[in-house]
Amino acid sequence: MSLLKLKGLKKEFGGLVAVNDIDLELEQGEIRGLIGPNGSGKTTLFNLISGFLTPTAGMVLWEGQNITGKPVHRIVKGGITRTFQLTKLLTNRTALENVIIGSHLHVGMGFFEQVFGAAAMNAKMGQIKEKALGLLELIGIENVRDETVGSLPHGYQRALNIAIALATEPKLLLLDEPTTGMNPVETDKLMEKIKMLRDERGITIFLVEHDMKAVMNNCDKITVMSFGVKIAEGSPEEVSSNEEVIEAYLGR
């Protein structure tokens, strides 16, 4: 059974069809690339999967269950988390504080905390802080843990977004242009971290990316969209030689 399955997914905005009849299956442990020219519907597709938009038609199936139209927090709790093209960070807080706040979905006042009160909550906050530090270290930015986010270089902010997403303990991580603004060395390092998340933590990765070298070198399979339609899907080798893909990017 596929981890994620999209069936006839469609999204209209007035008279504009942004995503049109998309079928897609994503397997556990896969790194899947989603590419296409600007305006092809990639981010809209991510918004439909993650609950930020409700489809006009079609279904999103997660681990065999229909999650179409479910609220974002329910989808996140179920194991799907996404990042955004534009960084959504608390710029007046430290990197560590941003990750701690991102952990809130997995913090609860259970019976033990209700009975034993502040001491138990302090212990839980200590665990959350330790987890947040571990995520910063995992992504390789623990050296800026106490830096105010607004003062961090763009590459660090992109990496911090991923650390925050990981705080929700996802099974599927949707990354929307994770290497934007990074130089080639930073891009290579981040892609190595992404592969490590799959190999060592078992997280399935679905990423939108315009850096074709990063996509071709690191993705198991690639889906290509153009004008809201899926025009190709396959291995990097198959996609790179597909005439319809070449036309979508370069024209005749």
Question: What pTM was computed for the model?
Answer: 0.87
Q: Which pLDDT tens digit goes with each residue over 169-190?
A: 999 999 999 988 888 998 998 9
Could you count the other beta carbons within 10 Å of the beta carbon of residue 55? Answer: 22
In angstroms, rounded to a whole number, what is the distance separating the alpha carbons of residues 46 and 77? 17
pLDDT at 80: 96
Q: Residue written as tokens 């974002």?
A: 72
| CB 175, CB 208: distance < 8 Å | yes
pLDDT at 249: 78
pLDDT at 86: 60
Sequence letter at residue 243: E
CA dihedral 107, 113, 117, 121 (to 10 degrees): -30
pLDDT at 85: 65
212 phi, psi to nearest 5 deg: -65, -35
Instruction: Please give the chain's pLDDT, 252 residues, in tens.
Output: 689 999 999 999 998 999 999 999 999 999 999 999 999 999 999 999 999 999 999 999 999 999 999 999 899 999 999 987 666 788 899 999 999 887 765 544 444 455 445 555 566 678 888 889 999 999 889 999 999 999 998 888 888 999 999 988 999 999 999 988 888 998 998 999 999 999 999 999 999 999 999 999 999 999 999 999 999 999 999 999 999 998 887 665
pLDDT at 104: 66
| CB 39, CB 60: distance < 8 Å | no
In angstroms, rounded to a whole number, what is the distance separating the alpha carbons of residues 201 and 180? 24
Give the chain's domains with CATH numbers. Answer: 1-79+170-252 (3.40.50.300), 92-169 (no CATH)
